[in-house]
Amino acid sequence: MIGLFLGVIFAIGAAPVEPDGVRVMVWNVLHGGNDVEQGAEKALAIIREVQPDVVLMQESYDINGDRPRLGEWLAGELGWHQHQAESKHLCVLTPLKMEATFFHHEWHGIGTRLIDEHGRSMLAWSIWIDWRSFITYELRDKPGITDEELLAAESERSNRKQQGEAIITHLRESGQLDADVPLLVGGDWNCPSHLDWTVDTARVYRNRRAMPLPVSMAMQQAGFTDTFRTAYPNPVQHPGITWSPMNRGAGDDDTGKAQGFERIDRLYLKNPKSPVGGWTLRPISAHVLPVIWEDESIPVPKRAFPSDHGAVVIDLEWEQASETRE
């Protein structure tokens, strides 16, 4: 029944990964799937349908019923590898070989070095940063707020800016920011991107402005590209909303106020300047699950999709430069 229902909900056309590609899934699975009946099993069915090469997971908590953490359980069911270690909730889940594992912070970042069947390596990090003072809700609640005061939500009323910069600093100091293999950093950023807060989107969405949002700006300045926006540059035509397929109506967050829809779950890519073997990655397509949102009258425990975050699925293609490093 789970598989049949999910097939209707997702209708994702989970086309097989390109023979020379990498499919990355970024997903906050909401309290280890515990808010929804058979949440862990539903998450497993979705991952099997998507067929990712890498899952960068957040909220991989203990599953109800004396079972292990979600990522560990999923790895056992799939016969895959997982890295969570000291993290409270971050996990990298993959069928690929793990060459090495890395740790930044129990809440904010863990990583791995992966190698595919052709011997090509990549670095993959799962991250999460501060949820407080969601900037879209701040603008909703105070429509007359100045830009300066609104941006303070990112650095004074939350620590998103500082935590995002700390991730970049860790990658730089560990040598990974300038590694000779592609670097992937994905997760729940709990804030929108400046690529989505534009003049045009401010005309479409009630609670947006054209603003230089600091977390996504910092990633861009560090040399990362936003993979979803690389595949689909126009945020009006392809909004890529991940928050929230579950919490949509007034009152869903106990405030009785209208919700704000944003793309807060993102995958960033930084390719090396001098790649090993000349190999780099290029985003070629992207989509967000669920494609079809469930009727909001369905009680949360009965939902087919077990999270309040949409899952981002990015297909990337390996490319080899004509000149390789000496």
Could you tell me the residue ranges of all domains in the chain? 2-320
CATH code for the structural domain at 2-320: 3.60.10.10
pLDDT digits (tens, 9 = 90+) for 104-122: 999 999 999 999 999 999 9
Give the burial string for 301-323 (b: 16+ CB within 10 Å, else e). eebbbbbbbbbbbbbbbbeeeee
Distance separating alpha carbons of residues 72 and 49, to the nearest angstrom: 19
To the nearest whole percent, how much of the chain has pLDDT over 70? 90
pLDDT per residue as tens digits for the range 150-207? 999 999 999 999 999 999 999 999 999 999 999 999 999 999 999 999 999 999 998 9
pLDDT at 8: 45
pLDDT of residue 251: 57
User: Is residue 10 predicted with pLDDT exceeding 70?
Assistant: no
Paired residues of 97 in beta bridges: 115
Question: What is the structure's pLDDT at 249?
Answer: 76
Q: Residue 248: pLDDT band by 50, 70, 90 thresholds?
A: confident
Tell me the pTM. Answer: 0.94
So what's the pLDDT on residue 324? 43
In the block, residue with structure tokens 């944003």: 262
How far is 184 from 268, CA to CA, in rounded Å?
A: 6
CB contact at 8 A, 262 and 243: yes
Closest CA to 182 of 232, 120, 119: 120
